[in-house]
Structure 1
Amino acid sequence: MAPAVGDPALPSAPPPAQRPALRRTGRPTSVPRLSPGVPRASRAIRRRQTVIAYLFLAPTLLFFLVFLVLPLLFAALLALSRWTGFDLSDIRPVGMANFADLFAHGSTFLTPILTNTLLYAFGTVVLALCGALVIAHCVNRLRFRGFWRTLYFLPLVTTVVAVGNVWKYMYEPGGLINGVLNGLGLPSLAFLQDPDTALPSVIVVQAWASTGSAILILTAGLTAIPGVYYEAAELDGAGDRTIFWRITLPLLRPSLLFVCLTQFIAGLQSFALINVMTGDGGPGDATNVAALEMYQQAFRYGDWGIAGAAAFVLFLVIAVITALQLWLFRRKDEEA
């Protein structure tokens, strides 16, 4: 017997106007539309959240505006002007004359000042990175890692004046280092008085003082490497040297990139340690670097235009070297 049309046992078919459109797969394709008020309310909520976010960021943005953007604009103005300081009414525009004076024939800015800057930064990065990598690899295998990392980090929290003065006395003819050399039967060396040894002597001190931060970063990177890679390599019979070159270094590349960038920028901008240990970049210009030359031109000779032009040249050098380092590391990552 056929069931009646109004029998509740059978579901009634929806009216044709309310049926969802069906694809060949049998799934409904119609999407329910939201009411017109929902997108408008969503936009209002997002706008309110954006305003609140900018209110929280306002102190940081104000800090960067006052201490970064405004000084950068003022330095650009000084680089194109002549100014002796203090009185803003004395600023006289001179165009590119300051940059022409920096690279004029007989100027010491390109050689030896900018050359010393690059050598100083490169030597600091090489010594600090190599030393930190070896020490971090050893510390990662020792007990009480926190104690060793703190011990190597202490030079970084010590003031530059204290570090420079201690090493300056150690480099003296009657200092500790020459005493050790004399004990070994070697003659004394005039570390800071000889133009050939003055810059390498300061590079060693800068590398020693900055090794602690590199060790801290590299030990964190070593700790983040999963141990399963080392276990698999040991099962395959790989030695310590193969594990270091094939596993540790490739996986430590992000930390190495960060250390290289920060150390190189710090080396290019450094001048306080040289000022403490050699005074004015002596003997002669053997230890004079770009940042120290900017300081002397501005505060000793009162030529703020030359100092501003040198600052922009140093900024371009830092930008180019940083971009080159990022490109090299990115290329190695793509090859790997």
Structure 2
Amino acid sequence: MTTLNGSSPATAPTASKRSRRGSLAKSRRRQAWAAWFFLSPTLLFFGIFLVLPLLFAIGLSLSVWGGFDLTRIEFTGLDNFGAILSEGSSFVAPILTNTLLFAFGAVALALVASVAIAHAITRLRFEGFWRTLYFLPIVTTVVAVGNIWKYLYEPGGGLINGLLNAVGISSVQFLSDPDTALPSVVVVQAWASIGSAILILTAGLKAIPHTYYEAGELDGTTAWSAFWHITLPLLRPTLLFVMITQFIGALQSFALIIVMTSGGPANATNVAGFEMYQQAFRFGSWGVASAMALVLFAVIFVITLLQLWFFRRKGEETS
């Protein structure tokens, strides 16, 4: 049996389905091309300013180069890594050790303080004013922040030592004593980075449904217990983001070191970022600086993975 146009009833729907599939495939291809077109500026920027410099840094880490003359790059293999990771190298100790102490100390101080302040801000009037007030150090240049704190730390006329002297405590050589220089800069780093953490954490706190706290009140939960068993577990994704970004920023920090101590005294505040800057721009050892940068990248990558694993494990335990 055939239809009026000569085709059988079985073949007519099949041809229609093929036509619809073909038009759907063409539509998807057009959408894909449109997506790639709109993504192309970002991908171009990403390739030029991230992928190419990364590949160039990897090449430099395996070479010796004095800078600015690409014809004088000499391939040396893993010699740069052997030099900075050898037993007598100062990169592992004290520089890399200082970097980790600086990062862990600054992040610990900033995270504890930002959680406490953000928790208090969400319960105060004029919340926007307080968020803006704590965010001001972020928009202030590192040079200004470093110089202001240098004056605060001055042993002669600084405000901090003035307060200590007023209560009968002798002046402290905050930035000139190897034992106190690194902790002093850690405090400044934590203070300068606390604003962004507070801004993100207040948003995370406001996203927690109030019904959880109402249920806790019905069960007789205290304020501290509600904070420990309700607020912190539900704030875990926000805390993870803040911790990772704070760690990356602290491990890469070097501008504050340049302004306040220039790595001194006696390398007590010399960190990886500052040492890379010195090797490249002061000594002209771009290969060594690139090798240090890749080692620091590996450290940041490992610490980030450990944080992700820890928070995922904690989430599985509480779920």
Do these two structures clear the TM 0.5 threshold for a shared fold by scoring above it? yes
Q: Which residue of 2 aligns with 1:9?
A: none
Greater shift in the superposed pair: 191-200 or 169-178: 169-178
Count of residue correspondences: 306
Q: Return the alpha-carbon distance in structure 2 between the equivalents of residues 240 and 105 of structure 1.
A: 52
| C-alpha distance in structure 2 between counterparts of 1:165 and 1:63, whole Å | 35
| 1:17-96 matched pairs, under 5 angstroms | 34-96=16-78
Structure 2 distance, partners of 1:75, 1:229, is: 50
CA distance in 2 between counterparts of 1:36 and 1:104 reads 67
- Counterpart for residue 159 of structure 1: 141
1:110 to 75, 92, 101: 92
Give me the CA root mean square deviation: 1.2
2:170 is paired with a residue of what secondary structure?
coil
Instruction: Tell me the CA shift for residue 184 of structure 1.
Output: 1.1
Distance, in Å, in 2 between the alignment partners of 1:159 and 1:328 is 34
Cα distance in 2 for residues equivalent to 1:198 and 1:122: 16
Q: TM-score, normalised to structure 1's length?
A: 0.89
Choose which of 287, 294, 297 in structure 1 pairs with 2:279: 297
Deviation at 1:35, TM superposition (A): 2.4
Shift of 1:159: 0.5
- Between Structure 1 and Structure 2, whose CA radius of gyration is higher? 1
Partner Cα separation in structure 1 for residue 231 and residue 17 of structure 2: 57
What amino acid does structure 1 have at the position aligned with 2:125?
A: R
Distance in 2, matches of 1:38 and 1:198, equals 72
**Are 1:253 and 2:236 an aligned pair?**
yes
In structure 2, what is the equivalent of residue 276 of structure 1?
Answer: 259
1:193-232 matched pairs, under 5 angstroms:
193-232=176-215
Q: Which residue of 1 aligns with 2:4?
A: none
Question: Structure 1 stretches (4+) deviating beyond 6 angstroms?
Answer: none
Shift in Å, 1:260: 0.6
CA offset digits 1:281-302 (Å, max 9, x no partner): 0001100011111000000000
Alignment deviations for residues 199-251 of structure 1 (CA, whole Å, 9 cap, x no partner) = 00000000001001111111111100111111111111111111111101111
TM-score, scaled relative to structure 2: 0.94
Larger helix share, 1 or 2: 2
Secondary structure in 2 matching 1:205: helix
- Structure 2: tracts of 5 or more residues without a match: 1-7
1:105-184 correspondence to structure 2 within 5 Å: 105-173=87-155, 174-184=157-167
SS of residue paired to 1:35: helix
User: Which deviations, in whole Å up to 9, do the C-alpha atoms of 1:171-202 show, x marking residues without a partner?
Assistant: 11121111111111100001000000000000
Q: Alignment partner for residue 224 of structure 2, among 234, 241, 244?
A: 241
Corresponding residue SS for 1:118? helix
- Return the alpha-carbon distance in structure 2 between the equivalents of residues 333 and 237 of structure 1: 25
Q: Distance in 1 between matches of 2:200 and 2:225?
A: 23
- Looking at structure 1, the residues matched to 247 and 167 of structure 2 have their Cα atoms a distance apart, in angstroms, of 35
